[in-house]
Chains A and B, each alone.
Chain A
């Protein structure tokens, strides 16, 4: 007899019993590994349903075994023989005789012929889509592609998951026989709650992903025919034309859930070997991740090699299912939707990830090696080495000199080595020591793990302890600060505000006591407060001397010339540029922090703080003012280019052209579009000044409010000016390098892959040899950069195993202004075209002064992934009162970039994409 209707038979799945051990799976000829796994699981399922009776299965090539189809005939028949296109593809035997026959046989067709004559054998004709002619195709080829069908088949198998068997409604059926469909639903679900989901052919195809384009309706009462009908019609409605040949399906509604989300078995962009889990642990709903409505999703990146034991509970079960499904389907790149409720793992969707570009050859091996080296390097750095004190190192991409914002998380060699030479190798520590903090000269601020630049937060925190504080006290302070950061990693871009106290502020004594008693004694804390006060006053006194140095650089930006390579110019740039700039930036921070403490302690409100800050005119504002003067004919374009032409988006990045390279493009819109800046010339009210004066007295600072406001303006303007001057020399150095490379046939992108040391060495060589050496180094660096792109590291690195897996929540961004704007999204990498910018919310990974051109172009708002409370863009947006969210984190930026329109609600601290 031939049986097919039993597709719809209900399979009762009992708990597996002991007898399973005796089941046997035999592959006749070559077979894909997933086929064997699938066969074993099918037998497990069937044997469990037959009270543990042993079964033998012999199969040929890839064929879809469906327990629900095999279950019924197996109750009475001794064997099931399945054929596809006239060829026997598998035989399933139950009785001893048949099983012996199968185990001896080499030729399935011959065995089938011998068995076929006995009466109790069932013949099964496989459907076209249940076997392939390629013997080594993975099972996924037969299983995946149609969401409802995939779930239907998977729900037949035992597995570490639960799948509510889908009830499929075809479009045609719905068009002609609504009553029948509703009756069927009622039969199946009774008065339960159901979810109506889309399964459109355009959605799950291998070639393109339209994930989330179609509607799903959650939580429908199966007993309410009207609501149910409306839900089904709505889902069909979302397909547009051709809905009649499509289908929808219904499942039990799982509610409430502890966690829901999406698992990618490979990195969705690079296909590197990571389990990538985006999940929602707060809403209790199942639709938040895919719809993008979520405020606080967490993302986990788990390297495939990580032992399960290291993973926290829910992540472990998600990865277990992912691993199982990859084995079962033979497809490496799957996209799963799931929910966890109690101890159950509910599987809602399995489909292949659509991106088809493969990994470069050998890259997985090189990636694993980079990771192993990074782990070793990290381990070595765990114990503190003098003069650094404190236990429990933390590394961050955004603390202190913020490499994520300035050179990017994965900087190329030239930018990385320039940043090191100018700031993070020596300058940073020299500045701190000169300022009165602990002397950390000899300790670099940045460490690289697998090509990712991190700030050594322990060293940074050490550098904010006054030099006069005894080392054993410093050790306690730093250890305690590191522990707080490890507990709340989101504070990593606000370390100097929320973790460490680095200068005098209002309420400092009380704050220190609250944080450090009883680990540090009261007397020691008071000594610390006094020392911080000294540092603050010292810093303010030092302002004119720093500015004087900057003026010397400005007067002669390229002395002593490039005759001996870029080294001497860079060294002078360091001494007269970045070192005084570091001082100015620190002083600007100190006065800002002091002002903020006035707000924190209720001396001023946030509006008054804004009022104070808006009165400060900086050189960045000067760009707009000068552009306006050009429009009015009061200034020549040449003069404007001479002053601001050195700006480039990505200050350390040779690849982006500077404004001077195309003045029309960069300055044109600025000149025509710029508007009169609002002026805040009225002096601050007497009463406000009096309150500031009182606050200063309370903070133990012998300063009048007039003096303080003078310092505040001078420090902030000085910082911007220092940046303006030093970046001009830096920009010229980059152009010099580009000019040197061009005749050698090395373009800007090539040169960006060389380190500064390599460039300097090559400059001393004859042209032919220089070219040869550079080419080799560039090829190596490119390969290295490609491997690094396959690695996902966290923004905050606390434990060594975070190099292999990490869970990150979204950053808490800094919102500027209280405005709420909804506008189209523009993703910018480099400075975008002026015509496209107006009225959009611009998304940037990071923003340095080179992006100032944007601000005058009528953007509706700015969102950046990186950049803390003290970053350039935060300062500029505050100055201009432009709505902005600074430092939303890279996951959130990725999500926002996937929408066309977004709402930036600064007052409500919300980001929503559509």
Chain B
């Protein structure tokens, strides 16, 4: 148990229908998948300073930016408190060299932070599609994935130091990584597949070595 490393997982923020209440939440599969992969998950609260304190206290081995909500400039479901929390956690991770995984919206946040541009993509919502590229080749998991994103990363805007590690069949960037920054962004939802997230995490460790 003590060998498990901590992972700080950011939460989505939802409005409770019919009640004047905001809740921070996490899809249940995250905790299950992370535990299964050998990590000790902690949800990060959406107060930037408090999340920074959580980071300092936990010294996590991984920061995970999850999906849900819209990234800044991509839709109506904006969540400024979460944006700030994630941007602070990204800065902290970069400063301490902590690996960082961004999923779906998390990948979009990672892209924005790295200075990439987001573009609308068609037909990546609620579909399954096959992947190509080093990430798909390297892992032992299933090679087609569940996708649910309206926005992708413009390939031309990817700065030096970042690699495209997976594309969908239609050529859309699905994953990008920087060894120097120890960061990986995937636009599909590995937590929604059996044994998929452990595979991504394994790939990540291998990539960063």
**When chains A and B are docked, how far (Å) is the Cα of A439 from the Cα of B90?**
17
**When chains A and B are docked, how far (Å) is the Cα of A59 from the Cα of B159?**
74
Q: Tell me whether A530 and B51 are in contact in the complex, defined as CB-CB below 8 angstroms, given that A387-B159, A470-B87 are known contacts.
A: no
**Which single residue of chain A is at the shortest CB-CB distance from B52?**
A523
A168 to chain B, nearest CB (A): 71
B113 at interface (Cβ–Cβ under 8 A)?
yes
**Binary contact readout B45-68 vs A (1 if CB under 8 angstroms, 0 otherwise):** 001110110000000000000000
**Which single residue of chain B is at the shortest CB-CB distance from A523?**
B48
B90 / chain A contacts, CB cutoff of 8 Å:
468, 470
**When chains A and B are docked, how far (Å) is the Cα of A528 from the Cα of B80?**
18
Interfacial residues of chain A within 497-522, with CB under 8 A of chain B in the complex: 521-522
B112 / chain A contacts, CB cutoff of 8 Å:
470-472
B91 / chain A contacts, CB cutoff of 8 Å:
466, 468-470, 473, 524, 527-528, 531
B127 at interface (Cβ–Cβ under 8 A)?
no
B18 at interface (Cβ–Cβ under 8 A)?
no
A521 / chain B contacts, CB cutoff of 8 Å:
48, 80, 83-84, 87-88
* Cross-chain contact A470 with B113 (CB below 8 angstroms): yes
B126 at interface (Cβ–Cβ under 8 A)?
no
* Cross-chain contact B88 with A467 (CB below 8 angstroms): no
B173 to chain A, nearest CB (A): 15
* Cross-chain contact A442 with B160 (CB below 8 angstroms): yes
Interfacial residues of chain B within 102-161, with CB under 8 A of chain A in the complex: 112-116, 157, 159-161
A295 at interface (Cβ–Cβ under 8 A)?
no
A595 at interface (Cβ–Cβ under 8 A)?
no
* Cross-chain contact A473 with B87 (CB below 8 angstroms): yes
**Binary contact readout B76-91 vs A (1 if CB under 8 angstroms, 0 otherwise):** 0000100111011011
* Cross-chain contact A522 with B48 (CB below 8 angstroms): yes
* Cross-chain contact B114 with A471 (CB below 8 angstroms): yes
The CB with the most chain A CB atoms within 10 A, among B91, B94, B159, is that of B91
A546 to chain B, nearest CB (A): 23
**Which single residue of chain A is at the shortest CB-CB distance from B158?**
A386
B43 at interface (Cβ–Cβ under 8 A)?
no
A526 at interface (Cβ–Cβ under 8 A)?
yes
* Cross-chain contact B94 with A472 (CB below 8 angstroms): no
A534 at interface (Cβ–Cβ under 8 A)?
yes
A339 at interface (Cβ–Cβ under 8 A)?
no
The CB with the most chain B CB atoms within 10 A, among A439, A467, A468, A523, is that of A523
B189 to chain A, nearest CB (A): 23
Contact of B88 among A386, A439, A523 (CB under 8 A): A523
Interfacial residues of chain A within 20-77, with CB under 8 A of chain B in the complex: none
* Cross-chain contact B95 with A523 (CB below 8 angstroms): no
**When chains A and B are docked, how far (Å) is the Cα of A441 from the Cα of B116?**
17
A450 / chain B contacts, CB cutoff of 8 Å:
none
* Cross-chain contact B95 with A534 (CB below 8 angstroms): yes
* Cross-chain contact A524 with B157 (CB below 8 angstroms): no
A526 / chain B contacts, CB cutoff of 8 Å:
48-49, 52, 88
Chain B, interface SS category: helix
A318 at interface (Cβ–Cβ under 8 A)?
no
Q: Tell me whether A389 and B84 are in contact in the complex, defined as CB-CB below 8 angstroms, given that A468-B91, A523-B49 are known contacts.
A: no
**When chains A and B are docked, how far (Å) is the Cα of A348 from the Cα of B73?**
59
B87 / chain A contacts, CB cutoff of 8 Å:
470, 472-473, 521, 523-524, 527
Contact of B49 among A386, A522, A528, A534 (CB under 8 A): A522
**When chains A and B are docked, how far (Å) is the Cα of A524 from the Cα of B90?**
10
**When chains A and B are docked, how far (Å) is the Cα of A179 from the Cα of B91?**
87
A63 to chain B, nearest CB (A): 70
**When chains A and B are docked, how far (Å) is the Cα of A387 from the Cα of B116?**
9
Q: Tell me whether A467 and B94 are in contact in the complex, defined as CB-CB below 8 angstroms, given that A389-B115, A442-B160, A521-B80 are known contacts.
A: yes
B84 to chain A, nearest CB (A): 4
**When chains A and B are docked, how far (Å) is the Cα of A139 from the Cα of B30?**
90
Contact of A523 among B72, B85, B160 (CB under 8 A): B85
B88 / chain A contacts, CB cutoff of 8 Å:
521, 523-524, 526-527
A472 to chain B, nearest CB (A): 4
B92 at interface (Cβ–Cβ under 8 A)?
yes
A190 to chain B, nearest CB (A): 71
A530 / chain B contacts, CB cutoff of 8 Å:
95
**Which single residue of chain A is at the shortest CB-CB distance from B93?**
A468
* Cross-chain contact B95 with A471 (CB below 8 angstroms): no
B159 / chain A contacts, CB cutoff of 8 Å:
386-387
**Which single residue of chain A is at the shortest CB-CB distance from B71?**
A472
**Binary contact readout A460-478 vs B (1 if CB under 8 angstroms, 0 otherwise):** 0000001111111111000
B116 / chain A contacts, CB cutoff of 8 Å:
471
**When chains A and B are docked, how far (Å) is the Cα of A469 from the Cα of B85?**
13
**Which single residue of chain B is at the shortest CB-CB distance from A469?**
B91
Interfacial residues of chain A within 419-474, with CB under 8 A of chain B in the complex: 439, 441-442, 466-474
A124 to chain B, nearest CB (A): 78
B101 to chain A, nearest CB (A): 16
* Cross-chain contact A468 with B94 (CB below 8 angstroms): yes
Contact of B115 among A386, A527, A528 (CB under 8 A): A386
**When chains A and B are docked, how far (Å) is the Cα of A530 from the Cα of B91?**
10
B157 to chain A, nearest CB (A): 6
B181 to chain A, nearest CB (A): 9
**When chains A and B are docked, how far (Å) is the Cα of A467 from the Cα of B95?**
8
A527 / chain B contacts, CB cutoff of 8 Å:
52, 87-88, 91-92
A432 to chain B, nearest CB (A): 15
B52 to chain A, nearest CB (A): 6
Interfacial residues of chain A within 766-796, with CB under 8 A of chain B in the complex: none
A612 to chain B, nearest CB (A): 31
Q: Tell me whether A468 and B95 are in contact in the complex, defined as CB-CB below 8 angstroms, given that A386-B157, A523-B49, A526-B52 are known contacts.
A: yes
Interfacial residues of chain A within 381-435, with CB under 8 A of chain B in the complex: 386-387, 389
A470 / chain B contacts, CB cutoff of 8 Å:
87, 90-91, 112-114
**Which single residue of chain A is at the shortest CB-CB distance from B115?**
A471
Beyond A387-B115, A473-B87, A521-B87: 12 further Cβ-contacts under 8 Å?
Answer: A387-B160, A439-B161, A466-B91, A470-B113, A471-B114, A521-B83, A521-B84, A523-B49, A523-B84, A524-B91, A526-B48, A526-B52
Q: Which 8 A-B pairs have the closest CB atoms?
A: A523-B48, A470-B113, A471-B115, A521-B84, A468-B94, A527-B91, A523-B88, A472-B112
Q: Report B's interface with A, CB cutoff 8 A.
A: 47-49, 51-52, 72, 80, 83-85, 87-88, 90-92, 94-95, 112-116, 157, 159-161
Q: Report A's interface with B, CB cutoff 8 A.
A: 386-387, 389, 439, 441-442, 466-475, 521-524, 526-528, 530-531, 534
**Selected A-B contacts with CB under 8 Å, 14 pairs:** A439-B161, A442-B160, A467-B94, A468-B91, A473-B91, A474-B115, A523-B47, A523-B49, A523-B84, A523-B88, A524-B87, A526-B49, A527-B87, A534-B95
